[in-house]
Chain A
Amino acid sequence: MYKLQLDAISKQSNSMVFRDVDNTSIPMIVDNTDYQQFVRDIKSGAQLNDAEGNPITGSDLTTFMETLP
């Protein structure tokens, strides 16, 4: 399961996602191999939560995926 992170100060998106299986913070950068795995996992159906822990599903997930680098 993945969870989107927020900047600790601005509380806006910091373009990072947290993988809870191994407590890994992943920058959303195309060349990052953990990010590449994140994209593969989400496309394979892994759960993605927003920063508050709410699952992102359906059209919201599709829209989110379209914004990824």
Chain B
Amino acid sequence: MASTIKSDNGVSSGVTGIVQTADSSGQLALQTTNSAGTAVTALTLNNSQQATFANTINVPNTFGFKNRIINGAMVIDQRNAGASVATPAGYTLDRWQVLQSTTGKISTQQNQGSVTPPSGFSNYLGVTSGSAYSVGSGDYYLILQNIEGYNVADLGYGTANAKTVTISFQVYSSLTGTFGGALTNGAGTRSYPFTYTVVSANTWTTISVTIAGDTTGTWGSTNSVGMQLIFGLGVGSTHSGTPGSWSNSAYYSATGAVSVVGTNGATFYITGVQLEVGTQATSFDYRPFTTELALCQRYCFVPNLTYNNYSGVCNSTTSGLVSLSLPVPMRIAPAGTFSGSFSGDNGLVVQTYSAANVSLNNSGVNTVRVYFTGGSGTAFTGGQAFGSNAASTGTIILSSEL
């Protein structure tokens, strides 16, 4: 039994209104009446405060993949494994890109500065300014995430049904004031500059920004860029716009926003980034580590070559080919960047290869073929098994980033 609150449509009782009953159970049932006038319990709250819904739950936020941002908790760092990147001109933590109109103004690192992350998080993306740089009109210093079109197609941007989204995150900066960012389409022909305020320096601050959906413009809905979420670290007037409305311009931030690169040693730390449907920020969508890693590996995969799987074959006295199966289908056939020294063997003898002598010989979304050539060491015989060797210290970064 339970106390009840019933919305009576009057079909059976002849009286419309809210009807209450009470008992001593301490439980509460919310009831609605169907077309026949019969009361049906929709929600029960027991005396342990547990809620039981009788039917489906419809809310603006989806429960699966609520957060359209990948690696919003800044956990995955395949490229750098937590090391500092002095002059990033590309991707830093997985899925997070650094763009600098002139490189070398900032450094980035997972958990840079070793401050205590905000409650509920173990990691953050840290940015530190390396100089006091006055941005020119065309300058831009940004961290951003390109969201694949498949992951935001349901938002209906560019249509009359475009959905309102809310961006939330935790930020910590040595600076205070009004910071800026923007939500844009992939082509940079639609942008919505926004602001947020950091009142207290060196304190984690929870930020929430709600943006009405854009009913115009062209927004990617497949495997190209669907949407860009940008945080400005110093943006000149050309790419700064009035906050709070959609524009046809390529705005990356809001006019008058704080410039992190303008102060030598200034810090900007961020984590818990979430972009979700609706007008309210909800709790952060924590995903299992393996799920988050797999989501990242659609765009970047750093294989471990320090084991012998002999999946390859020697195709000359000094070369070998190894096929690598990718853990998830990548967005497109990836490019492969090689650094360091590699080692391979046929089970009998070992050869070493410089990064310049290793390449992708084929690239696909499910498999790549790595070609080790010009090896130094005892000669192989063509047709023998070949595997990357545990002595390899080199790194392969496979990238199909947006």
Instruction: Show the binding face of A for B, using Cβ within 8 Å.
Output: 5, 7-9, 14, 16, 18, 20, 22-27, 29, 31-35
Contact = CB atoms under 8 A, between A and B. Distances in A.
A7 B362 CA distance: 8
Interface stretch (B64-72, B226-234, B333-341): B333-341
B365 to A, nearest CB: 10
A25 B356 contact: no
A14 B333 CA distance: 13
A8 to B, nearest CB: 5
Nearest to B354: A23
Given A8-B371, A23-B338, A32-B332, A16 B321 contact: no
Interface stretch (B246-254, B264-272, B394-402): B394-402
B335 A25 contact: yes
Contact of A24 (B336, B371, B402): B336
B361 interface: yes
B88 to A, nearest CB: 14
Interface string B372-402: 0100000000000000000000000001111
Interface residues of B, number: 29
A32 B315 contact: no
A29 B356 CA distance: 22
Contacts of B319: 8
B355 interface: yes
Nearest to B319: A8
B361 A26 contact: no
A7 B363 CA distance: 11
Contact of B335 (A8, A20, A32): A32
Contacts of A31: 223-224, 331-332
B125 interface: no
A32 B338 contact: no
Given A8-B315, A9-B315, A16-B363, 12 more contacts: A7-B361, A8-B321, A8-B369, A16-B360, A20-B356, A22-B337, A23-B339, A23-B356, A24-B337, A25-B336, A27-B360, A32-B400
Contacts of B338: 23-25
A29 B332 contact: yes
B358 A23 contact: yes
B164 interface: no
B12 to A, nearest CB: 61
B399 A14 contact: no
Contacts of A18: 359
Contacts of B402: 33
A9 B371 CA distance: 11
